[in-house]
Structure 1
Amino acid sequence: MPKAVTFDRAQVIDNATQLFWKKGFHATSMQDLVDATGLNRSSLYNSFGDKHDLFEICLKEYQIWQSKTLSKSFDQDMSPMDSIRDFFSQILKGIKEDADHKGCLLSNCATELSNSDPHIQELLIANKEATIEVFDKKLKAAKEAGELKNDSNSRQLAMYLYTCLHGLQVTALLISDQKELDALVDNILKNL
């Protein structure tokens, strides 16, 4: 008879996610995962597969969290453009409040693994498309509200915002002046 699972799966995934987020995939060893999760190697392998499998689980959970965060930001009762500005401001706030300066797990993953791991690249592309779709809907709403020109290509602008988002997530790790970061967001939005 197999042993019953006696650990909090969500907590283990969260602990592993935090570790991968802080160290990256390649720099995280199985021993690091054992230490961070409190599980022994055989329990990790039996419950989650190998390190790569666990990383994918963590990445998918992070994507779900990020999508909920994006949707929550955009569900607020404010104009479409104000909600986009608020979203970027919330991203900056999260980066500044992170004492470990981890940045964005997806951006980190893209630079570390997208060129060498086709399966991870597929996950990142799916996330990119989902994020662009959310931006596109918000930009279409901005056009309907008269906040953007009617002849603007919302899909192209959504890709622009996605690109700016990832650039800002990296840049914000290197700039401590909040006024300078706010000015970057202003310039991003002015170019719409």
Structure 2
Amino acid sequence: MGRPKNFDPDAAIEQAMKVFWRQGYGATTPQHLVDTLQIGKGSLYNAFGGKRQLFDLALRRYLDLRLAAVAARLEGPGPVKERLREALHFLAKTELADPDRRGCLATNSAVEFGHTDEAVAAQVLGLYDRTESAFQALIEEGQRAGEISSGRDAKALASMLMNTVTGMHVLARIEPGPDRLRRVVDATVDLL
């Protein structure tokens, strides 16, 4: 009979998410995870299977949290363009408020792994697809309400928004203040 777990796996995933987000996958060692999570190596492997499996869980947690935060702003009341502007400003403010300037874990993972890891690529593309679908639904709502021209391709506009958000994630890692990101958000929404 094995020993009972002396840690909360959900809290450990949350902590691991912060470690991977700050350092990236490659720079994070199993020992660093053990030290940060304050668990034994055996617990790391028994509970999660290892560094890679814990990374997958941490990335999934991040993706779910990020999508929920953006969706809450997109699905709220009010004019479509203002909801979109609020969601994009929220993303910029969140990243600029982070003293470590970690950027977006999904974007960071896409850059770190590229196409060399199909599982990570699939998770990140899943977030991008779901976010783009939410943008498309909002654009179509705006087209029905007359806020956005119905002659524009909603899917293409949603792809443009997703590309803008990804670029904002990268820019926020080095941008010293909010002015440039604010201009990007406002210009993007005004183009709709």
TM-score clears 0.5:
yes
Give, as a single letter, the amino acid of the residue that structure 1 aligns with 2:36. A
> Does residue 36 of structure 2 align to residue 36 of structure 1?
yes
Q: Tell me the secondary structure at the aligned position of residue 26 of structure 1.
A: coil
How does 1:87-126 map onto structure 2 within 5 Å? 87-126=87-126
Q: Partners in 2 of 1:183 and 1:125 — Cα distance?
A: 26
Q: Could you say what secondary structure the match of 1:176 adopts?
A: coil
Per-residue Cα deviation, 1:8-55 (whole angstroms, up to 9, x for no partner): 111101110000000000000011101110011110000001211110
- In structure 2, list runs of 5 or more residues that go unmatched: none
> Identity of paired residues, percent?
27
Structure 1 portions without partners, runs of 5+: none
The CA distance in 2 between the partners of 1:177 and 1:97, in whole Å, is 10
* Alpha-carbon distance in structure 2 between the residues aligned to 1:108 and 1:180: 21
Query: What displacement does 1:121 show?
Result: 1.0
Q: Match of 1:7, as an amino acid?
A: F
Q: How does 1:78-157 map to 2 (within 5 A)?
A: 78-157=78-157
Superposed displacement of residue 114, structure 1: 2.7
User: How big is the shift at 1:190?
Assistant: 2.5
Taking the aligned partners of 1:53 and 1:178, their CA distance within structure 2 comes to 36
**Structure-2 separation of matches of 1:44 and 1:174:** 34
What amino acid is the match of 1:14? Answer: E
Alpha-carbon distance, 1:118 to partner: 1.1
Partners of 2:94 and 2:175 in 1: CA distance: 14
Moved more, 1-10 or 59-68: 1-10
Distance 1:187 1:160 in 2: 12
CA distance in structure 1 between the aligned counterparts of 2:177 and 2:101, rounded to whole angstroms: 15
Counterpart CA distance in 2 for 1:53 and 1:125 is 18
After superposition, what is the alpha-carbon deviation per residue over 1:137-191, rounded to whole angstroms, capped at 9, x for unaligned?
A: 1111111111111111111111110010010111122222323321111121233
Aligned to 2:26, the other structure's residue is in SS state coil
1:95 and 1:3 map into 2 onto residues whose CA distance is 40
Deviant stretches of 4+, over 3 Å: none
Q: Structure 1 residue 65: deviation in Å?
A: 0.5
83-92 vs 165-174, which moves further: 165-174
Measure the CA separation in 2 of the matches of 1:3 and 1:137. 49
Distance in 2 (CA, whole Å) between partners of 1:71 and 1:181 is 20
Conserved 8 A contact 2:5-2:43: no
| Paired residue secondary structure (1:4) | coil
Is contact 2:101–2:174 with CA below 8 Å preserved after alignment?
no
The 5 A counterparts of 1:46-61 are 46-61=46-61
